[in-house]
Structure 1
Amino acid sequence: MMEKGLQLEQYLNRQWACSCGKTHATHLKAVAIRPGAVNDVPEILKSVGCARPFVLYDETTYQAAGALLQSALEGAGVAYTAYILPYAEPVPDEKVLGQILFNFDAACDLLLAVGTGTLNDLAKYVSFKMSKPYAVVATAPSMDGFVSSVAALMENHMKVTYPAHVPCAVIGDTDILKAAPMEMIASGVGDILGKYTCLCDWAMAREIEGEYYCPELVAIMRQAIDYVVQLAPRVPARDPEAIAGVMEALVLSGIAMAFAGNSRPASGSEHHLSHYWELQFLAQGRKAVLHGIKVGIGTVAVLRMYEWLFARKIDFEAAKAGALAFDEEAWRERMRALYGEGAQAVLDLEAATHKNGPEAVGAQLNAMAEKWDALQEIAVQLPPSGEIARILQLLGAPVAPQQVGVDEQMFADSVVAAKELRNRFGLLQMLFDLNLSRQAAQAALES
């Protein structure tokens, strides 16, 4: 392992004028990822001006870190108010947000989330709306949203990303992190591996739509991916340095999102598939699958579809004819069937963007036809799908949709419809434009 890790301190509380033309900034002030880091919490809170934290747990995270954290706070004489959400696995929806607001102690000047994805998103959003800072004590290296500037919440049965703010501090005690269920650790690795395909999508969008693209942020993310791939063989043994490295990469991914001002450096078609499956499971009353586990599966699937697509000879004239024949009403009915109560958000997005209409698709097809060789050069830089599958299998993680209960029909539907959750160009939109979504889905399942 590289002794210096990812050197996160170089990014803290920093802004710089980038070669991409933007000034990147993050307000993250402190990161402590090491054995015993929970003992740093009182000093870190003091350094960011916190006098009394509101400590937010769920039932699971309280068991994982409650005693250690409260011992550290009380040993340092830090006054605090604690609230334990009455769920082992809370859903970040309107009800739970209301519970936090109802129980919040107005005497507190900072929200301290103890947990991972859901707890972090809830604390991030509530603190943002209340104009209070927040910090997080991670209980598992399971996802990369710790320091992103958005919060992923459920509203009216739909996954919605809201503007928020980054934490002022992240604490990752490797003694706590390495004790997390291996599935959660594998989830973090899966989330990082998903950066391969999201960065490819971003480069495709630069070529086809002229979307803003930052090579320096891409380089940062590639550093994080490479680091985790190097460490992956040491993760099953819960090697502390390997676990710390995964956590560092997840934090760095969030920093890159904060620098970009959106999730482009860290989320693409693989995440859209994951979000779609999550919504379907929720609608069906099924137990959720960890975000990064789904992202890992989505990454393998997207890699397989990229491989399939660029091994084909494309008939752009047939695709253009298909675009002109687009039946918007039939599409709307299909979205209502697939998204159920959440369909209106999808329909509203299309009404605002017309991304599936003949004009937009025709323009995208013209650009693809003109730049196909350049697109192929981008795609060939992706790792083989089998290589990523082997890393996930090393961690005992699933690699096929069917392994987590996503059957062939749901998977095929997701390749068609998952892109409707965002106005963001990537592989799924390319397949739609080319009228190849169903064929690509079948190819991914057969690989």
Structure 2
Amino acid sequence: MEPELKRQLGVFDAVVIGLGSMIGAGVFVALAPAAGAAGSGLLVGLALAAVVAYCNATSSARLAARYPQSGGTYVYGRERLGEFWGYLAGWGFVVGKTASCAAMALTVGDYVWPGQEHAVAVAAVVALTAVNYAGVQKSAWLTRAIVAVVLAVLAAVVVAALTSGTADAARLDVGADATFSGVLQAAGLLFFAFAGYARIATLGEEVRDPARTIPRAIPLALGSALVVYALVAVSALAVLGPARLADAAAPLSEAALAAGAGLLAPAVRVGATVAALGSLLALILGVSRTTLAMARDRHLPHALAAVHPRFQVPHRAELAVGAVVAVAAATADLRGAIGFSSFGVLAYYAIANASAWTLTRAEGRPPLLIPALGLAGCLVLAFALPPSSVLSGAAVLAVGAVAYAVRRGTFA
């Protein structure tokens, strides 16, 4: 029998870990490319991303309550749709979220030491891998502190922007620069920021009373993140407008300057760094648990299924994920990683919604409209992403499918 992880996390811890993933560097970097795609339709794109995220969260919560194991949709797809679909979900998640990890690490580098961002990024990955290795409860404590700092910084920026004389409500109106395709692309890019609630489901084996805790924690985390993102987006648009926001290298720093609150700029830099660290911490946590689940089924080397006897964490999986992310952080491009990550994670959630569709009422199935809308939304947003993201993401999924077929043929 495979060793199991220890159940240590309650509702509050699970919500904080989800928030640490969602209110991470995405709020500091995703608004600019989304505004570039949607223009004044940015808020419409945000609303669309939130609707799809809600459907995904609801489907994931019902599935996680029924299958409280590490691995998230890898487990759900395997149990409800068959081994291949579970494998494809796990593959898309691990690859896509590895790109997210690299993006978060590079964000730390950009804010801490411009010009040496890759070196700082690698150092951040090594440090947070060590924190995760020491136990999930320590990760939860650190995430609480990170979320508190980030929320304080964001609240200061929102208040400064909305109370400044430069804020103009007219900039929030959807104008001629907003197109349907642009809004869809913005929603796909913003989905990168909302996808953190998956961390709660992938930690299913470490949550106390998962049948109650997970369905409560996921919507709480998602709803809180949506409120924060909406307030930040409204504030940034009100003082910068869509064109300046799209061109901003550091959107919230520029929003603070435009609002006449230049003293906040250093705090925003600190907040972005801390947010990226929090998101990276939670991402490494989630990817290592999916790696653990896939290793248990021998889709990845079985040695990665080991659980540390003292710290009760999948230590080999965490070290392997940390090593791969460190290499990616040393070589990757920040903005390119966002679209690539979004494609992989949207594919992951498409399989989650398809899995939820197969639940019976007795098994806690949500109303059928929710998984249907979630599945359609994931597919539409995935293929509305920039062409380079679609092509690279589809190619990676295809490589995974071929590897699965070869493995099945080899061991048949």
Normalising to structure 1: TM-score of the pair? 0.30
Query: Which of the pair has the greater relative contact order for Cα pairs under 8 Å at 6+ separation?
Result: 2
Give the structure with higher Rg (CA).
1
TM-score between both structures, scaled by the size of structure 2:
0.32
- Point out the structure with the larger helix share: 2
Q: Which has the higher strand share?
A: 1
